[in-house]
Structure 1
Amino acid sequence: MSDTDKQQFHVTRLYHPSHHVIDLREAEAWFERVFGRQSRSIAEMTRNAPASEGYPTDYSIFTPISDVLFDTIDPKRYVLNGIQQYESVDSPTLKGFGWYVDGIADAYQRLKQLGIGMVGQLGEAAEGDDPPSAPGSPMPIFFTVPEDAGLRYEFLPQIPFPLDHRLSPGWELPPVSEDDPLVIERCSHHTILTDRPDRALRVMVDGLGGTIFHEGRNEVLSATSTYVHLADAVFEYAVPDADTQAYTDWAVNAPNDTYHSITWKVRDLEQVARHLKEQGVGIRTHTSEVVITEPETSLGIPWGFTTALTTGDPRHAG
């Protein structure tokens, strides 16, 4: 991508990870008990202004966790025009994530130039010169097709969104709260399992202007990983070895990629391990450098906790 192309749009911030669950109340209680975080319902968005006709207001909760806004969705409740938009799940699972974009029409055109298939919010193919808009709204919003991008990535402009704590005027990465049972400093990285890192990097680097800053082995996952910095976040694209747990986790969505986990940088790893055990959360891995939870006891996610960011992470100074 040329410098001119890069200047046409700017990916400003990770919007949110999307997590699909069976029971929103159970998820809300789990985040309060384990992460010590309160969640807020999407219904709060319509207290002062009605939702678009037919748009559901009970399908999602948002949980602020340091520099991440975490979105939990009950697919059964997400019904537009009488059609359930996401397949129901048998167990909780991470699904995808997206970004706020300044100059979203140019970002759409860039991905289109690269031959990346995209759809609108109702699943309609995005084939025009302009990006599709939200149902009943002029706001542009679109998603990549997993077959072309590996995952369903979301793109929208940075709109006023009261449930996003990071959009408050003057917001900065907060210090560790003394009330935080997991002593989280910030998000370290998001891990995506893939057998085609070239496909993902075509979107992340060639399309969106992300930067590869580290490549190497992830011995905990038994995978070969490429780390990309984009906007305010880091993404690990990991190719797992055969006959490993990570390979099995990837194969669930093969030939597409799998959004596997989120790893947090924390102040005290032993405090994290103690708290997780006290809350009945199983631990899959516990070394001097990392703790990883058992998904079966942690909303389907192998959450990671570490005391060090990835080598070369450009946010080290931040």
Structure 2
Amino acid sequence: MSDADTPQFSLTRLYHPSHHVTDLDVAQVWFERVFGRPSRPIAEMTKTAPASEGYPTDYSTFTPISDVLFDTIDPKRYVLDGVQQYASVDRPHLKGFGWYVEGIVDVYRRLRDLGISMVGQRGEVAAGEDPPLAPGSPMPIFFTVPGSAGLRYEFLPQIPFPLDHRLAPGWEVPPVSEDDPLGIERCSHHTVLTDRPERALRVMVDGLGGTVIHQGRNEVLGASSTYVHLADAVFEYAVPDAGTAAYADWAGAAPDDTYHAITWKVVDLDRVERHLKEQGVGVAVRTGEVIVTDPASSLGIPWGFSTVLTPGDPRDAG
């Protein structure tokens, strides 16, 4: 393939994790109380630009947490053209994530050429030469189909987005604040459970240009894991052992993959454990390097807190 034929694209940043909940108000209070972070409703977007006709403005909130913009969604409120786009949930759970992209047409064509199925924002099959557009907008946006890619991954161009704290000119990962009750330095990694890591790697490495930085056992999770660095983040693709809590979580979505957890790099586990207990958040696992919360008391997510990053993580200045 000549240089002229080589796809030209760059995934510049993780856009946001998506978390589906039963009550946005409960989630907002929880993030304020446990993470010490306020959330902002998507309705604030309409202060600078009107929403497209018929587009809902009350279905999600965004919470900035160090280098992550966390999106919480009530599926019942996300209705386009009279159709609820996401299935309702009876308990909170992580759902998916996506990226800001430069050269989005090339990304779309690269995934298409690899046989990855994709859809637009209304669920329409993406089969043309160019990616589908957002409803009422000229902006390209598309999503992978879980049966083909493992998860629903989102792709959109870098847009002015006033709720994304990381888009401020000169923004860098901030130092830990003394007021941060959890002492978060940055996101360590996102954990996806799968029984087909080759399917995930076809998207993440072959399609998007990610790099495998580590492979090995995750004894805390009870899984064999492959870690991929892509854009500004690290993703763990873990094959869980039968009989583990992770296996049960994966089985609930099988044959699709499951977005299971987010782990944060922190300065002090004692500080984390003390605050979690003060806030009534259960600790399911505590080792010398890792704490994992009980999802039943933490919005359905087994949040991880670690004093070390993944081996081979290029973001590790130490």
State the TM-score, normalizing by the size of structure 1: 0.98
Cα distance in structure 2, aligned partners of 1:222 and 1:291? 14
Q: CA deviation at 1:317?
A: 2.2
Distance 2:255 2:300 in 1: 21
Aligned to 1:14: 14
Deviation at 1:314, TM superposition (A): 0.9
CA contact (8 A) 1:6 1:209 kept: no
The residue that corresponds to 1:292 in the other structure is 292
CA contact (8 A) 2:184 2:266 kept: yes
| Structure 2 contact 59–75 (Cα < 8 Å) conserved | yes
Separation in structure 2 between the aligned mates of residue 107 and residue 178 of structure 1, nearest angstrom: 41
Provide the residue aligned with 1:233 in structure 2: 233
Shift in Å at residue 206 of structure 1?
0.1
Post-superposition CA distance 1:153-212 (Å, at most 9, x none): 000000000000000000001000111000000000000000000000000000000000
Residue 217 of structure 1 is matched in structure 2 by 217
Counterpart of 1:120?
120
Matches within 5 A, 1:1-318: 8-317=8-317
Name the CA distance, whole Å, in 1 between partners of 2:117 and 2:138. 21
| CA distance 1:313–1:3, shift in 2 (3 Å) | farther
Flag structure 2 segments of 5+ consecutive residues without an equivalent: none
Distance 1:244 1:5 in 2: 46
Residues 7 and 106 of structure 2 are in contact (CA less than 8 Å); yes or no, is this contact kept in structure 1?
no
- After superposition, give the CA deviation of every residue in 1:220-254 in whole Å (9 maximum; x if it has no partner): 01100000000000000000111111111110000
Q: Structure 1 segments of 4 or more deviating over 6 A?
A: 1-6
Q: Alignment partner of 1:314: what SS? A: coil
**AA at the equivalent of 1:153:** Y
CA distance in 2, matches of 1:4, 1:242: 47
The one-letter amino acid of 1:85's match is: Q
Question: How far is 1:49 from its partner?
Answer: 2.5
How far is 1:4 from its partner?
A: 7.1
**Alignment partners' CA distance in 2, 1:98 and 1:129:** 21
Q: Give the letter for the 2:52 counterpart.
A: S
**What is the DSSP-based 3-state SS (H/G/I as helix, E as strand, rest coil) of the residue aligned with 1:315?**
coil
8 A contact 2:197–2:239 mirrored in 1: yes
CA distance in 1 between counterparts of 2:49 and 2:102 reads 25
Note the alpha carbon deviations across 1:62-94, whole angstroms, 9 max, x for none. 000000000000001101111110010000000
Going from structure 1 to structure 2, the CA distance change for 1:4 and 1:291 (only over 3 Å counts) comes to farther
Contact 2:7/2:110 (8 A) holds in 1: no
Counterpart of 2:17, as a letter, is P
Deviation at 1:274, TM superposition (A): 0.5
State the 1:50 CA deviation.
1.6
Task: Specify the SS of the correspondent of 1:280.
Answer: coil
Is the 8 Å Cα contact of residues 11 and 99 (structure 2) preserved in structure 1?
A: yes
Give the secondary-structure state (helix, strand or coil) at the position aligned to 2:315.
Answer: helix
8 Å contact from structure 2 (residues 41, 61) kept in 1: yes
TM-score normalised per structure 2: 0.98
Write the distance in 2 (CA, Å) between the matches of 1:128 and 1:70: 31
CA distance in structure 2 between the aligned counterparts of 1:29 and 1:6, rounded to whole angstroms: 47
* 1:48 shift after superposition: 3.1
- Give the whole-Å Cα distance in 2 for the aligned partners of 1:179 and 1:317: 24
Paired residues, number: 318
Equivalent residue letter for 2:70: F
| CA-based RMSD | 1.3
